[in-house]
C-alpha cells in the first residue's frame, strides 16, 4: 500500500493555508481547507485520521485529495454549484405592494406576480419564498360574523 507524504505533496505553506482558512466563510470549504492544513502541518499523518476527526468517510477524503491534485488549491476550494437566485429578487413593485396593501392569500399573490411579471410560481413555491424572506400574511383578529357593531359602540360609550 502506497502512502502519501502530505507535507511534501501539498504545495502551499502552512501560513498560506491558515490565511486562506480565515478568508473562507462557507463551512464546506472551511472543512476542506482545515483538512489540508492538518495534513500539511503534520497534526495528522493520514487522510483517514483527518476524516475521522471531521466525522466523514475516508472515501470523501480520497475524493477531496483527487480534487486537490487535479485543480490545486483554487480548484479545491470552489463549490461545484452556484446558489439559485430568485427571479423576484429585484422586483421592487412586489415589495412595495407587500409593504402597502399586501395580499389576502398566497394564491392572490401568485396571480398578481404572474400578471405583473409573467413569472409562474406554485402556491407552495411562493409560500416557501415568503417564509425564507420572513414575509408574513397580515390578517386581522377573527370576529364573529353576527357581531353587531352598534351594540359594541354603545357599550364602549357606557364605560
- Determine, yes or no, domain membership for 41: yes
- Residues 93-116: pLDDT tens digits? 888 888 888 888 889 999 999 999
How many domains does the chain divide into? 2
Low-confidence ranges of the chain (pLDDT < 70): 1-2, 138-140, 159
Indicate whether 10 and 71 sit together in one domain: yes
Using an 8 Å Cβ cutoff, are 73 and 12 in contact? yes
- Determine, yes or no, domain membership for 45: yes
- Determine, yes or no, domain membership for 86: no
Separation in Å, CA 72 to CA 49, 63, 68: 22, 13, 5
pLDDT score of 142:
80
- Determine, yes or no, domain membership for 1: no
How much is the pTM?
Answer: 0.56
- Determine, yes or no, domain membership for 153: no
> Which residues span the domain enclosing 100?
92-132
Amino acid at each position: 500500500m502506497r502512502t502519501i507524504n502530505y507535507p511534501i505533496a501539498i504545495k502551499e505553506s502552512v501560513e498560506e493555508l491558515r490565511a486562506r482558512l480565515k478568508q473562507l466563510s462557507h463551512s464546506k470549504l472551511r472543512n476542506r481547507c482545515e483538512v489540508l492544513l492538518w495534513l500539511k502541518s503534520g497534526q495528522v499523518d493520514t487522510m483517514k485520521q483527518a476524516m475521522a476527526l471531521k466525522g466523514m468517510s475516508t472515501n470523501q477524503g480520497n475524493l477531496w485529495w483527487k480534487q486537490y491534485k487535479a485543480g490545486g488549491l483554487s480548484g479545491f476550494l470552489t463549490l461545484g454549484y452556484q446558489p439559485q437566485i430568485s427571479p423576484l429578487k429585484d422586483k421592487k413593485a412586489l415589495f412595495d405592494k407587500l409593504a402597502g396593501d399586501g395580499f389576502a392569500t398566497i394564491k392572490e399573490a401568485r396571480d398578481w406576480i404572474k400578471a405583473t411579471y409573467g413569472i409562474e410560481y406554485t402556491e407552495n413555491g411562493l409560500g416557501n419564498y415568503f417564509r425564507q424572506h420572513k414575509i408574513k400574511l397580515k390578517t386581522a383578529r377573527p370576529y364573529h360574523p353576527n357581531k353587531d357593531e352598534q351594540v359594541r359602540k354603545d357599550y364602549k360609550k357606557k364605560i
